[in-house]
Structure 1
Amino acid sequence: MSAPIRSLYCLPLLALALAACQRDVPAPAQPAAGQTPPPVEAVQPLEETPAELKDVVEMDPKFIVGISYPPEANRYPGLAAELHRYAQGAREELMEAVGGAELQPGTMYDLSLNFSTLVDTPDMLAIAADGSSYTGGAHDNPLIERFVWLVREQKLLTAETLVPGEGDWKVISGYVREQLHAALSQRIDADELEPDERSRLIRSAGKMIDEGSGPDVANYQQFEPIPGAGGKLSGLRFVFPPYQVGPYSDGVQTVDVPAAILLPHVAPAYRDLFVQA
């Protein structure tokens, strides 16, 4: 990726850094001419076990990091630890790349990660992690993760515990694949391609859909609760990062699965989370 493009990409993070400075959070001093920059690991390292999640801004001649957290996550230490663990893992990957690479002039490695609240009820707090990390190459690496915290149980709700039966995923997978194929056809039709080109794209992209949305619980790890009536859920939105069910250019894809389809396959302990048909 060219230096001008990288510079444009870093502008939002620089704005975040300036905002942090206005909150009296000092930015690390830049080395004077002729001085050796400080070791990467010495620049504002994240705490191992923070008592409270706080936004993170790090700037260095080689990289820039911006991480933001929602204040709601601090209500539940277990959830806060999960969010921090994910952010720390993304940061460590960036640091490994920075420490082992010879950067081209004008190239800036960066990490931008935003945690946002999706659902906040007495029963659950759902957090989305969205961002990207640039460690070299043609484009950024997307960062996509979803966290659904069960308040009463004080634990994360996972796809494995929500739908424990392997056979149950066949029904959910069938519905998801149908929706993804329909969306693919609509996108290709909108491009008004020649018949041969349309057929080629349908085959190649359709193969990615079939492989990335098969009835394997590993394909359905990222999901968001969809709020419904009476504080219950009307369904789940499954989130697929780039490359899972389509090329990078298609970006993040999602499929909403209504409660009526999910409920027969949800573990009995969690059926009361959903609107009953």
Structure 2
Amino acid sequence: MRRIPRTRTASHPHSNPLPAAAARRIPAAVLAVLVLACTLPACRKEQPQAPGAPAPATSGAPAAPAAAPAMELKDVTEHTPDYIIGISYPAVATRYPGLAAELRRYSDAARAELMQAVQGREKGGSEAAYELVLPFSELHVSPQLVVVAVDGSSYTGGAHGAPLIGRWVWLPAQNRLLTAQDLVPDAKGWEAIAGLVREQLHTALSQRVDADELPAGERVEVLKSASKMIEDGTQPDPAHYSQFEPVVGSDGHIRAMRFVFPPYQVGPYSDGTQTVEVPAAALLPYVAPQYRGLFQST
């Protein structure tokens, strides 16, 4: 059976799953960054989430929790015969200790998993070093929203690395993370969102299969298999939509919400990370009242 081509209408511009060839060794460009990092003072490691909309806080917004103590985050660069680690944090993270703690938990968990794989590695196997690459970046920063993304990878053997995709939306005024469950608390809302997301993903799938010009029988099988992945990965449960990023308009308000689906959630690895944008007008009826001020009004 022929593989569906990588070109896709729903791919996110930041997505960059680690290719098979690069999984066995860090590219020259990454090595150069790691070497340079060794010669520079360690950076603070805190990762805030980019602000999305300068809308005034509503009276119904939850009270802000007490500020967390300052946390110093430093970029990590380690290069040994057995493993390579490269972790970098955005400067905005230093402003929000709570967000920094979230990013630190994520990177610590990924690092612990890598080291466990290194320790359990069989002797005499592949000589390729295991690796963890986590380049955190700012997607949006404003007094209302801070959005941070990571499109990284972890390689612990096999044909290619495992993509590590994460998004964090921080609310500075409330000193807290915005989760999918907080954003849309009603189950009916997720049913409506799931329908919109599935429609876009199925359309993108059909376009990819049509472009591949598969024989009729093979086309049916590909569509059946990929469609099942879409249905399973977009069930109306906020857990399936935990990775999202606000798309902010010129007026500073959220004009759409981009839901991010890592490889394997709604398609095979070859399809990479896929995204779907739901317009504010379609999402707003289901958004919790205290967050509606962040969105463009219809």
**For the superposition of Structure 1 and Structure 2, which TM-score range results when normalised by the shorter chain?**
0.7 to 0.9
Q: Give the counterpart of 1:60 among 49, 59, 80.
A: 80
CA distance in structure 2 between the partners assigned to 1:210 and 1:5 by the alignment: 31
How is 1:37-116 mapped onto 2 (pairs within 5 angstroms)? 51-102=71-122, 104-116=125-137
Give 1 or 2 for the bigger CA radius of gyration. 1
> Could you tell me how far 1:58 is from its partner in structure 2?
0.7
TM-score (norm 2): 0.81
Question: Which ranges in structure 2 are unaligned for 5 or more consecutive residues?
Answer: 1-19, 43-68
Q: Deviations over 1:51-81 (max 9, x none)?
A: 3222210111100000011001110000011
Matched, 1:122 2:143: yes
Aligned-CA RMSD value: 1.8
Look up the equivalent residue of 1:175 and give its one-letter code: L
Q: Partner residue of 1:155?
A: 176
Structure richer in helix, relative to its length: 1
Q: Partner residue of 2:279?
A: 258
Question: Which ranges in structure 1 are unaligned for 5 or more consecutive residues?
Answer: 26-48
User: Against the structure 1 CA distance between its residues 271 and 50, is the aligned structure 2 distance closer, same or farther, given a 3 Å change threshold?
Assistant: closer
Matched, 1:136 2:153: no
Q: Give the counterpart of 1:13 among 30, 35, 38.
A: 30
Partner SS for 2:283: helix
Once the two structures are aligned, what percentage of the paired residues are identical? Answer: 56
CA distance in structure 2 between the partners assigned to 1:8 and 1:141 by the alignment: 14
Look up the equivalent residue of 2:121 and give its one-letter code: A
Contact 1:10 1:110 in 2 (8 A): no
TM-score (norm 1): 0.87
Query: Which 4+ runs in 1 deviate beyond 4 A?
Result: 3-8
Look up the equivalent residue of 2:198 and give its one-letter code: R
User: Against the structure 1 CA distance between its residues 90 and 50, is the aligned structure 2 distance closer, same or farther, given a 3 Å change threshold?
Assistant: farther
Which structure's relative contact order is higher, taking Cα pairs within 8 Å and 6+ residues apart?
2
> Could you tell me how far 1:137 is from its partner in structure 2?
2.1
> Could you tell me how far 1:100 is from its partner in structure 2?
0.8
User: Against the structure 1 CA distance between its residues 209 and 61, is the aligned structure 2 distance closer, same or farther, given a 3 Å change threshold?
Assistant: same
CA distance in structure 1 between the partners assigned to 2:82 and 2:239 by the alignment: 35
> Could you tell me how far 1:250 is from its partner in structure 2?
0.6
Contact 1:13 1:64 in 2 (8 A): no
CA distance in structure 2 between the partners assigned to 1:183 and 1:208 by the alignment: 14
